[in-house]
Amino acid sequence: MKTGKLAKIYRLDSGRHFRLRDFDPADTGHWRSKEHAEQALQQDILRMAELQDKLYAQDRWALLLIFQAMDAAGKDGVIKHVMSGVNPQGCQVYSFKTPSDLELQHDFLWRTTRCLPERGHIGIFNRAYYEEVLIARVHPEILESEKIPAPLVGKNIWEERFEDIRSFERHMARNGTVIRKFFLHLSRKEQKKRFLARLEEPGKNWKFSESDIHERKYWDDYQSAYEDMIRNTSTAHSPWYVVPADNKWFTRLVVSAVVVDTLDSLGLAYPTVSAAERKELEAAKKILLGKA
């Protein structure tokens, strides 16, 4: 089965009328079989490897994938499974957690900007600068630690940050970095189920943190923050994909479909060899064959 349509179903080029309740976290589209979905995922992974090779060789475009979600939505698993076939030399993964002292000495975009992918590479951000309009919004006290001059922390700070993010992403798009953003939409019920699994299964104990339970208390606040974030930062050049996350196998399929569709759209090809370079290659071949 082909996955191309999935790349369009969950895409938001504009968030003007976006409402989170219109998206079902348990949706699997017309995909009813986990086995068929996994077969399609493997096909996408193979295709992705081919396209990444051309991306790297062409050395013109860069691709940045951003993942945001509530705890236990499966970001790590998506990255692990979907990107399993790419060449590690052309892919970089960064996870952004609590800012360091050095990072707090700079603006909120600084720490992620340093990690942007080079041309020819795929960059993956496990959380990103969007934390600054999510956790910082749910917990306003975080702004105090960011050392921003008091007069600049006004009632419009979130709108101002949305504007900064849109401008930044427009700048990146104009310079050859293609950005695709994924919100893994998990239900509260499924999150509870996954937290319990972390507590009950010894092999998953390490995944559990007390902060998971603490942040769960702010579920509604986070949902509201995510909705406003997506509504204000979905654009044609940097769209959000609201990906159902209650079924991990479907989440991975949607993400792989988006990555393949995006790379396909770039018209990637191996660099052509000029006539002069062709002569050099022929001369080198003769030397190797002992004919010169």
* DSSP letters for 56-95: HHH-S-EEEEEEEESTTS-HHHHHHHHTTTS-GGGEEEEE
Amino acid found at 292: A
- pLDDT over 90, % of the chain: 83
What DSSP line would sit under 119-185, residue for residue?
TT-EEEEES-GGGGGTHHHHSTHHHHHTT--GGG--TTHHHHHHHHHHHHHHHHHHTTEEEEEEEEE
Domains by residue range for the chain, with CATH: 6-288 (3.40.50.300)
Identity at 253, one-letter amino acid code: L
Q: At 1, is the pLDDT very low, low, confident or very high (cuts 50, 70, 90)? A: low
Q: Rounded to whole angstroms, how far apart are CA atoms 34 and 184?
A: 18
Do residues 175 and 241 lie in contact, with contact meaning Cβ atoms separated by under 8 Å? no
Q: Worst-scoring range by mean pLDDT, 38-42, 43-47, 191-195, 211-215?
A: 211-215
78 pLDDT higher than 90: yes
CB atoms within 10 A of CB 163: 13
Overall average pLDDT of the 133-156 stretch: 93
Q: Count of alpha carbons within 13 Å of 179, Cβ hemisphere only?
A: 27
pLDDT in the model for residue 292: 55
